[in-house]
Structure 1
Amino acid sequence: MAPAPPTPKPAPPATSAKPISCTGKIAQTRPVASGTGPGGSLVSTGSPAVALTFDDGPDPINTPKILDELKQCGVKATFCVVGFRARDHPEMITRIAAEGHTLCNHSWQHLFDLAKRDDAYIRKDLENTNKMILRAAPGARVAYFRAPGGNFTTKLVRIASELGMKSIYWHVDPRDWESAKFGKGTAMVNHVIAAVERDVRPGSIVLSHDNGKPDTIVAYRTLLPWLKARYTLIALPDAPPPPPSPAPATPLP
């Protein structure tokens, strides 16, 4: 009788990716980002700092990965989340807030024609999204809104403002969602890296996506050290501006 084949050894457990090292500084001389987006939305931070923004989540697979990368580099970012996904994955919203990132309203279900709806519909959409965010992160403040697809109008900007939110567009868009043009896997990773490195400026708001975009997560393993060496990276401030200091009293003659 032939000897029994050896019992196959179980595969070793998957190990996490090697930690990212974000050290060193490289001076930059690029011009500061400026201008406005559609409807008067913001395209820049208003300072030399650069803001990384991640849209369409939270994603239970990809959002934890980008959060891990940001933590390794000591970087804070802004997450523009979709209302029904915030409802379905509240633990991700809780973690985003707990780790010091800014939360941004990206509408309830990412309707590209949201601006064409009536005012009451838009207001309810944004209010319901904020409700889900704050249910998971009661201490957070949702100070920003990003229209699906960046399809801002003055009406959308106005309604968001009435709800206490600034409207943010972007200055850098690597189009990480356009796989039909740029490919997937290594091709997309290399495209995202090249596009961000080429276009970023002091003050840029950078658009990326965490939901369903694993190639973007891989790209940021290279981008985070590159960006941090050259720019101050911030989460968009989510606290109301401090009240102005009172003018000093004028001494009596």
Structure 2
Amino acid sequence: MTRRLAVATALVVLTLLVGSRWVTNRSAVLANQRTTVPASPTSPKASPPPSAEPSAPPTQVAAPKPPTAKRAGSGPFGSLKLTGRKTVALTFDDGPHPVWTPKVLDQLKAAHVKATFCLVGTEVRKYPELVRRIVREGHTLCNHTWHHELDLGTKKPAVIKANLEKTNREIRKAVPGVKIGYFRHPGGKWTANAVKVARSLGMLPLDWDVDPRDWDTKDAKLIRSRVIGGARSGSIILMHDGGGDRKGTLSACPNVIKNLKGRFGIAPLR
């Protein structure tokens, strides 16, 4: 009995030892297969990690456009009423005059300021040397009709054109080849035909923003207060160096120039 029990115990131990070795060997085989057996050629390839989705392009926002200088269109029939800049412009009409034009030029020269002179053809014929001085000192020229015809704009286009061309020829007789970039209708009595003809001849129609009515008064204080009180950024100032007694204008000019230079700056029309 004891011997049988011993034999049975021995068989159980042997069985356990054999089974343990078999399990160990099988695990080793499986491990070896995982590390040495190549993947089947028919096995699907591993998918690469998904790449990040391309970001949508940012919405393109148009840059704001800089403010357009207010030039054409601000005055009657698209005439030029403002300079389109901060600086203001001085303009003098109805010359050249043998007494007043030289004195105005002297004041402008002393103040280092340039202006625009709106010339009447018949006066240019009388005083061409003054036109030459105006140009020599760097001022801008403007056609102001042949004989200051207030009703010119009501005429037929052919009549308007002949008048302006005659005036330009007289100006260029004094200063050959000079640029005449502007036309100012007497009294500001603009018409569509006057503007159209001036533009066809390469001249911008020149209106104004401030009129101190120096053609109607000799009171220098009144002229000065009207200009200084009415001026704003970009103003075109109307004054006169011809057509009558301009003592009031001449007396007002130094203070007007000093004030406008300090507040806005004065620059010529080009």
Which has a greater percent of helix? 2
State the TM-score, normalized to the length of structure 1: 0.76
Q: Is 1:189 aligned with 2:227?
A: no
| Native 8 Å contact 1:33 1:171 kept in 2 | no
State the alpha-carbon separation in 2 of the partners of residues 44 and 121 from structure 1. Answer: 28
Give the percent of matched residue pairs that are identical in Structure 1 and Structure 2. Answer: 48
| Native 8 Å contact 1:105 1:145 kept in 2 | yes
| Native 8 Å contact 2:154 2:191 kept in 1 | no
Q: Which residue identity lines up with residue 214 of structure 1 in the other structure? A: K
Q: Is 1:113 aligned with 2:151?
A: yes
Quote the residue 1:199 is aligned against. Answer: 230
Distance 1:33 1:172, change over 3 A: farther
Q: 1:165 aligns with which of 203, 211, 214?
A: 203
Tell me the secondary structure at the aligned position of residue 98 of structure 2: coil
State the alpha-carbon separation in 2 of the partners of residues 147 and 129 from structure 1. Answer: 13
Give the deviation of 1:139 after TM superposition.
Answer: 4.0
State the alpha-carbon separation in 1 of the partners of residues 192 and 159 from structure 2. Answer: 16
State the alpha-carbon separation in 2 of the partners of residues 234 and 160 from structure 1. Answer: 23
Quote the residue 1:76 is aligned against. Answer: 114
State the TM-score, normalized to the length of structure 2: 0.71
Give the deviation of 1:33 after TM superposition.
Answer: 8.1
Q: Superposition pairs for residues 100-249 of structure 1, below 5 Å?
A: 100-179=138-217, 184=218, 188-211=219-242, 212=244, 213-237=246-270
Residues 170-228 of structure 1 show CA distances to partners (whole Å, capped at 9, x for unaligned) of: 0001011123xxxx3xxx10011000110101111100001122210111022111111
> Where in structure 1 are there 5+ consecutive unaligned residues?
1-31, 238-253
Q: 2:125 aligns with which of 78, 87, 95?
A: 87
Give the deviation of 1:118 after TM superposition.
Answer: 1.2
Runs in 1 of length 4+ with deviation above 6 angstroms?
32-35
Quote the residue 1:96 is aligned against. Answer: 134
State the alpha-carbon separation in 2 of the partners of residues 235 and 41 from structure 1. Answer: 17
| Native 8 Å contact 1:33 1:202 kept in 2 | no
| Native 8 Å contact 1:108 1:128 kept in 2 | yes
Coordinate RMSD, CA, aligned: 1.4
Tell me the secondary structure at the aligned position of residue 176 of structure 1: coil
Tell me the secondary structure at the aligned position of residue 67 of structure 1: helix
Tell me the secondary structure at the aligned position of residue 261 of structure 2: helix
Higher-Rg structure is: 2
Residues 17-67 of structure 1 show CA distances to partners (whole Å, capped at 9, x for unaligned) of: xxxxxxxxxxxxxxx988622121110011111110000000010000000
Aligned length: 199
State the alpha-carbon separation in 1 of the partners of residues 142 and 118 from structure 2. Answer: 4
Distance 1:33 1:202, change over 3 A: farther
State the alpha-carbon separation in 1 of the partners of residues 86 and 260 from structure 2. Answer: 13
Bigger RCO (CA 8 Å, 6+ sep): 1
